[in-house]
Amino acid sequence: MSEHGSNATTANGAHAGETRRDFIHIAAATVAAGGVAAVAWPFIQQLAPAADTRALSSSEVDISKVPEGGEIRVLIGGMPFFIRHRTAAEIASAKAGDTAQLRDPATDASRLRPKKDGTLNPPILITSGTCTHLGCVPVGPSQGTVGEFGGWYCPCHGSHYDTSGRIRKGPAPSNLPIPTYEYVSDTLVKISL
Amino acid sequence: MSGPSTYEPKTGFTKWLDTRLPIVRLAYDSFIDFPTPKNLNYWWTFGGILAVCLVIQIVTGIVLAMHYIASTKDAFASVERIMRDIDYGWLIRNIHATGASMFFLAVYIPMFRGMYYGSYKQPREMLWILGVVIYGLMMATAFMGYVLPWGQMSFHGSAVITNLIGAIPLVGPTIKTYLMGGPAIGDATLNRFFSLHYLLPFVIAGVVILHIWALHVPGNGNPTGVSVKDAKKDTVPFHPYYTVKDGFAIVVFLIVFAAFVFYFPNALGHADNSIEANPLQTPAHIVPEWYLLPFYAILRAITFDIGPIPAKLIGVALMFGSILILFVLPWLDTSKVRSMRYRPFARQMFLGFVIASIGLGFCGANDPDTLIFKFREDKLSLNYTATTGATTSEIFDDFAAAQAKLQSLPPTAGGAIEISKSGFKWLWLSQILSAYYFLYFLVILPVLGVIEKPKPRPASIADSVRKKHGSKAKTAPAGAAAPQAAE
């Protein structure tokens, strides 16, 4: 160290090789690393969904316009959702499925949400429109194909969903998820991501 | 291998420059006087071809970026405008789109070459690793570029890939959200992909400089795998010998390139990408571009859970693993002999590897559940719930018999007649080939290096060249040996 004109080693000569300069190096590097991390964070966080994107993460849908036996598809924040008006036969078939051997067991009632008065509304089934396998959008009554179990069929890799949106056949691991939604009135539903 | 520089500046200006920025000296030593093994075959010409590909992609890409609009509303229309309204836009876009395929074609060939001739072995491990880094960057660039035209395949293909990333445990969903910038692929995703698609080629160019640097330390490998022993006898200067050879290969390559651009511009793309993206309608078959098909096949080959690990996650892990494994290839191959010319058993296994890789490409292009060939004629199967409650299936040869049986069942049985097929599925082929892909790296190469007895290798590059051309020894009169070489 003497060549640097410093006698720093004398302060801790007992610890061979450790000098105040080492301490200064480590401290300076630590501060620099902290600074880099602090600056890096905004550059990473800007990738996250922006405030306007997050603000569009829920939508109100008028379910009275859905014809019986048909469905409508809505995009909320770019994600597809199915709102299906089931016929009596389709509801019966969904209820019958409660006792079948299911890959992802769930009763039809557990896949509905109560109205304002606390009762369920079995004709209206609301599910995510994203196949749980690899994210394709299954086809349904509007496309003329409902699969072997009367619900939806995913053309990508052949997953069949029943009239309650439960996976019955094919590679998908789980049921079509039920989004967070609530009945604002008897005919208006608010769906959130 | 680069020895002392032989560059001598001649003019006053180059002398002045050489003492301040010796850039002419660097170029001279790297691309003119660089000692190169004299026995390189045409498999070694792809470095130059790839450099041409990168320049073509950057130049055409910069032009396309002047007209492209990265917005979900306008992207598809702006690409159509490039194709229809902008003068020569069709040409520049076709070159760019075809160029991506040509780039991958030109990168796969030297990758296989490197595996056959053991180019990744000591002392060229860093050269190989940097090559794999370039390949990875190319795949990322191509993936993001494919999203930009905002066609059906752009949208749904990228949805599948981002979903794969979401399947990674713990961090997957967070990474997926940060990648997409929203709940689904949309404007935010398109804009960041455009930005990165513009950036990454320049990153590739930077890694290419490192790659060439790492090449110029040990020098080129060669088909015999024998190191250069005497630079005078074993090597020739890069210019004119290899500038001419590479130049010829580049011209041939550009002929193929031009044939695609002018005669089959859509042959390598998917028709569904000419339909504007519709998030509510998925195309019947989502397939990536041809150069990613083998990895897509590996992803889909896993249809079974292993213990608590779901099939989807294993598929994702194997797909990424199939690329990452290339990084450690120099340490998996335990053989001291570089070239498989002298490894009789390894070269058979390598042939199998090439077949498996190409075969996986075909598996990726086909629906896993369709049959490659049938075991028997299609029959009819009647499925129903028996009175015992068990699901039963019966096979019938003709419809009348099946129909009669169906009529005899009680209505509660819920009987239905289906076509029953039996045959060899694409899925099974992709499982077999995926297994071979990994066995090749993890078992065959490590074990062969230990048990295989290699054939004798030539003493030097000069020796092998002499042998090939018939001269017996360097003491033999040159004139006497030459006529015998004709046989």
Query: Which of B159, B177, B281 is the closest to A49 by Cβ?
Result: B177
Name the residue with higher pLDDT: A191 or B388: A191
pLDDT digits (tens, 9 = 90+) for B370-382: 899 998 888 888 8
Asked whether residue B1 carries a pLDDT value surpassing 50, the answer given is no
Spell out the residues 6+ positions from residue A129 whose beta carbon is closer than 8 angstroms to its own: A73, A79, A80, A81, A82, A137, A138, A176, B280
Average pLDDT of the residues in B115-125: 95
Q: Which amino acid is at B189?
A: T
Residues of A in contact with B311 (CB under 8 A): 171, 173
Identify the burial level of B444 via C-beta atoms within 10 angstroms of its C-beta, where 0-12 means exposed, 13-18 middle and 19 or more buried: buried
Mean pLDDT across chain A: 87
The region of weakest confidence among A89-93, B48-52, B122-126, B367-371 is B367-371
Categorize the per-residue pLDDT at B478 as very low, low, confident or very high, splitting at 50, 70 and 90: very low
pLDDT at B415: 74
Residue type, A126: I
Contacts of A40 in chain B (CB under 8 A): none
What's the average model confidence in pLDDT over A167-178? 88
Instruction: Decide if A157 is catalytic.
Output: yes
- Put simply, the answer to whether B281 touches A57 (Cβ < 8 Å) is no
Residue of A nearest to B427 (CA): A157
B2 pLDDT band, cuts 50/70/90, is low
pLDDT of residue B4: 75
Distance from CA of A34 to the nearest CA of B (A): 22
- Based on the number of CB atoms within 10 Å of its own CB, is B114 exposed (0-12), middle (13-18) or buried (19 or more)? buried
Q: Which residue has the higher pLDDT, B116 or B173?
A: B116
- What is the layout of strands, in order, in the sheet containing B416-420? B391-396, B379-385, B416-420
Phi, psi dihedrals of residue B454, rounded to the nearest 5°: -70, 155
What average pLDDT does the segment B469-484 reach?
49
**Pairing of β A124-128 and β A79-85:** antiparallel
Mutate to test the interface with A, among B171, B196, B280, B419 (most CBs of A within 10 A): B280
Q: Is pLDDT at B487 greater than 60 in this prediction? A: no
SS3 B420: strand
Quote the pLDDT of residue B3.
62
Q: Is the pLDDT of residue B80 over 70?
A: yes
Query: Average of pLDDT values for B416-436?
Result: 90
Cα dist. B227→B116, B181, B231, B336 in Å?
Answer: 16, 51, 10, 12
Rounded Cα gap, residues B90 and B87, in angstroms? 8
- % of chain B residues with pLDDT over 90: 72
User: Residues B158-163: contacts with CB within 8 Å, 24+ apart?
Assistant: B158/B185, B158/B189, B158/B193, B159/A135, B159/A136, B159/B184, B159/B185, B160/A134, B160/A135, B160/A136, B160/B286, B162/A135, B163/A134, B163/A135
| pLDDT tens digits for range B314-362 | 988 999 999 999 999 999 999 999 999 999 999 999 999 999 999 999 9
pLDDT of residue B486 exceeding 80, the answer is no
The closest of B28, B111, B98 to B357, measured between CA atoms, is: B111
Report chain A residues whose CB lies below 8 A from the CB of B159: 135-136
Query: What does the pLDDT read at residue A15?
Result: 60
The domain B34-274 having CATH identifier 1.20.810.10: the answer here is: yes
Q: B162-197 pLDDT, tens per residue?
A: 888 888 888 988 999 999 998 889 999 999 999 999
A21-31: pLDDT as tens digits = 999 999 999 99
Residue B220 CB neighbours (<10 A): 21
- For residue A103, the SS3 value is coil
Test mutation, B281, B282, B313, B384, chain A, max A CBs within 10 A: B282
- pLDDT in the model for residue B303: 83
pLDDT at A143 over 90: no
A97 touches B: beta carbon within 8 Å: no
Q: Do residues A167 and A159 lie in contact, with contact meaning Cβ atoms separated by under 8 Å?
A: yes
Res B469 pLDDT > 90: no
Q: Collect all residues of chain A within an 8 Å Cβ-Cβ radius of residue B156.
A: 136
Which residue from B162, B178, B182 is facing A53, i.e. has the nearest CB? Answer: B182
- Res. B472 pLDDT band, cuts 50 70 90: low
Query: Is the confidence at residue B480, as pLDDT, over 60?
Result: no
A73 touches chain B (CB under 8 A): yes
Model confidence at B482: pLDDT above 70: no
Distances (CA, A) of B411 to B384, B386, B407, B414: 10, 11, 9, 6
If you average pLDDT over residues B196-224, what whole number do you get? Answer: 96
pLDDT of residue A134: 76
Instruction: Assess whether pLDDT exceeds 60 at residue A5.
Output: no
Q: Are B178 and A77 in contact (CB < 8 Å)?
A: no
Q: Which of B94-98, B190-194, B462-466 has the lowest mean pLDDT?
A: B462-466
Cα B391 from Cα B408, distance rounded (Å): 17
Of A46-60, A152-166, B444-458, give the range with the top mean pLDDT: B444-458
Cβ contacts of B348 within 8 Å, gap of 6 or more: none
Percent of chain A scored above 90 by pLDDT? Answer: 56
Tell me what ipTM this predicted complex has.
0.74
Of A129, A134, A193, the CB nearest to B160: A134
Chain A positions in Cβ-Cβ contact with residue B184 (cut-off 8 Å)? 77-79
Q: What is the mean pLDDT of residues B455-478?
A: 75
pLDDT tops 90 at residue A147: no
User: What pLDDT is stored for residue A162 in this prediction?
Assistant: 92
Q: What is the pLDDT of residue B406?
A: 83
Picking from A136, A162, A168 by the largest number of B CB atoms within 10 A of its own CB, the best residue to mutate is A136
